[in-house]
Structure 1
Amino acid sequence: MVQFLSRFFPQRTERPLYDLFAELAELLVQSSDTHSKLLGHGYRERTRIAPRLHEQSTVAEELCRRIAERLVQSLITPYEAELLYDLALTMADAVDAMEHTAELLVISRVGQLPTPLLEAAKGIERAAEYTVAASWKLSSIRELGDYYIQVRKLTRQGERLVRRALGELYSRGGSVQELLPLHDVSESIRRTIVLQERIARLTDLLRVKDA
């Protein structure tokens, strides 16, 4: 009966839900752009840009709440609902991780970042662009293509760049007060990268489940 209804009323139950995911994915793109700008500037500009990431994180949480409410009303299976809710939360967590990086940079007054971290931020932007394109296909998930593979490549590259940045940091030396904030910023960027791979993996699980 549920399958019968879902086939005949897809607009009323499914499309609004997927529209919310597309909106959340577009917010991820905007946040990754803000994140890159913030990493590339000095302290003064960072204090101006950081509140934008806080606003984007707040909007992401609100979108998660709306998605949760829509899932309660939907006619999809509990397993699929759990995957979709986890997907929404992970996307919001990625935005939150970028806001956390911004907070660390402002609070610690870290100066210029190592070039590999700036390159890793560009990879975060590219992964977000893949994610927004994938979000448009949630209603026809079998057409997802190689989204997960592409994000995994970016994840491996991003983690290598973070390790390179840490290597440069420790080889340069300095006091603990100088090294620790940069280490924390590097690990925060790494967390964003890992969360983006989780987004892609959850999306791919939906494709596998639908196969």
Structure 2
Amino acid sequence: MKLRLFPQEPAGLVLLAQMAGVIVAATGTLSEILGAPASEHQRLAEELHEHESKSLDLHFALLTHMRTSFVNPLPREDMYTLSRHLNEAMEKLDAAGDLVALYKLDRLPKRAADQLEIISRQAELTVDAMRKLEDLDELEDYWIEILRLAKRAERSHRIWVAEMLKDMKSTQFARHRDIANQLVEVTKDMRKVATQVGSIIVKES
């Protein structure tokens, strides 16, 4: 039997999908930063700041919508939690780009690109999942795949840190580790979104 919540006002789901879409766009900008010369970093970091500002605007728009709408597609606390995790993921992506610019790093290891690929995939799946929150039968595979990607990211992070520890001097290691930590935290925030979706599935089944 289909699990369906019959939302009267699905605008909140649209806002959540838009927040995930901002993360997709921001991942593209951060990928540009990793491949750009240091002279371009500040301009691209400003572009990331714009993505972060848009995410925050969408987060506040969702809060306003929930306060003023009569019927929401999900319990308000669930929608707020999803929005908060998405916004926190965007904040950490923005921080990673800021650190690359502030540290004036010309190159990062391939592991950084691997992590961004995982984040981008998580975000793309999440855009689709947010649009389908009114039909929960569609979302079990999403939940499982995001958890799989998060585990892959955490393993990649451990290997990245071990490689840096072996190959870099202490100051260089500290700078690269800061960025590595921000990126893996983004994957964890995306995992929190999926875990919240899993919780919704369980509650509504």
| 1:40-92 deviations in Å (ceiling 9; x for gaps) | 33312322211111001101111111111111233458x92111101101101
Give 2:202's aligned amino acid. Answer: V
Say which one has the larger Rg: 1
Q: Is the 1:117–1:161 contact (alpha carbons within 8 Å) kept by the matching residues of 2?
A: no
Partners of 2:62 and 2:145 lie apart in 1 by: 26
- Equivalent position of 2:34 in the other structure: 39
- Equivalent position of 2:61 in the other structure: 66
Mark the runs of 5 or more structure 2 residues left unpaired by the alignment: none
Partners of 2:43 and 2:112 lie apart in 1 by: 20
- Equivalent position of 2:184 in the other structure: 190
Give 2:128's aligned amino acid. Answer: A
Is the counterpart of residue 148 in structure 1 residue 150 in structure 2?
no
- Equivalent position of 1:135 in the other structure: 130
Is the deviation greater in 31-40 or in 85-94? Answer: 31-40
- Equivalent position of 2:44 in the other structure: 49
Partners of 2:20 and 2:32 lie apart in 1 by: 19
| TM-score (normalizing by structure 2) | 0.90
| TM-score (normalizing by structure 1) | 0.88
Give 2:39's aligned amino acid. Answer: R
Tell me the number of residue pairs that the alignment of Structure 1 and Structure 2 aligns.
200
Is the deviation greater in 199-208 or in 184-193? Answer: 199-208
| 1:150-175 deviations in Å (ceiling 9; x for gaps) | 0111111111111111111111131x
Q: Is the 2:140–2:198 contact (alpha carbons within 8 Å) kept by the matching residues of 1?
A: no
Give 2:14's aligned amino acid. Answer: D
Pairwise CA RMSD of aligned residues? 1.9
Q: Is the 1:115–1:165 contact (alpha carbons within 8 Å) kept by the matching residues of 2?
A: no
Of structures 1 and 2, the one with the larger relative CO (CA 8 A, separation 6+) is 2
- Equivalent position of 1:200 in the other structure: 194
Is the counterpart of residue 177 in structure 1 residue 168 in structure 2?
no
Aligned partner of residue 140 in structure 2, secondary structure: coil
Partners of 1:207 and 1:39 lie apart in 2 by: 37
- Equivalent position of 2:85 in the other structure: 90
Q: Is the 1:38–1:46 contact (alpha carbons within 8 Å) kept by the matching residues of 2?
A: yes
Mark the runs of 5 or more structure 1 residues left unpaired by the alignment: 1-5
Give 1:57's aligned amino acid. Answer: E
Choose between structure 1 and 2: higher helix proportion. Answer: 1
Aligned partner of residue 138 in structure 1, secondary structure: coil
